[in-house]
Structure 1
């Protein structure tokens, strides 16, 4: 897949936050990143995520990386 093609990675932060009754702002504070950065991730516009950020998100939410991100099948 060429770099300029859209990615198929989907972020599930909306669901995870709703299940925990947590806001994106509260998660951003707990993780130590800006709301804007998490919003980009949450809205599937991110092109990359630092492992340290993903680890912090997982720690705060009590989940694994596969709970936060998944990959849509090709052609979906």
Structure 2
């Protein structure tokens, strides 16, 4: 079953003109793990990782993670 949570990491990076590599360095999370998150394949995320990403992108959790409409 697919998750109904969508990660907007790709859009936020584009808006800020940042690469996944740069974000990886800023938050000390591997590119592979960020890619899993970015592509909506993550099953879980640590609060510390979520906090670090939001601080690095100057966004709120609700900017990063959104619920997909039910179909």
- Unaligned stretches of 5+ residues in structure 1: none
Report the aligned-residue RMSD.
0.6
Which 4+ stretches in 1 moved above 3 angstroms? none
Q: Indicate whether 1:59 and 2:55 are aligned.
A: yes
SS of the aligned residue for 2:6 comes to strand
Tell me the TM-score normalized by structure 1.
Answer: 0.90
Give 1:59 shift.
0.4
- Structure 2 residue ranges without an equivalent (≥5): none
TM-score (normalizing by structure 2): 0.96
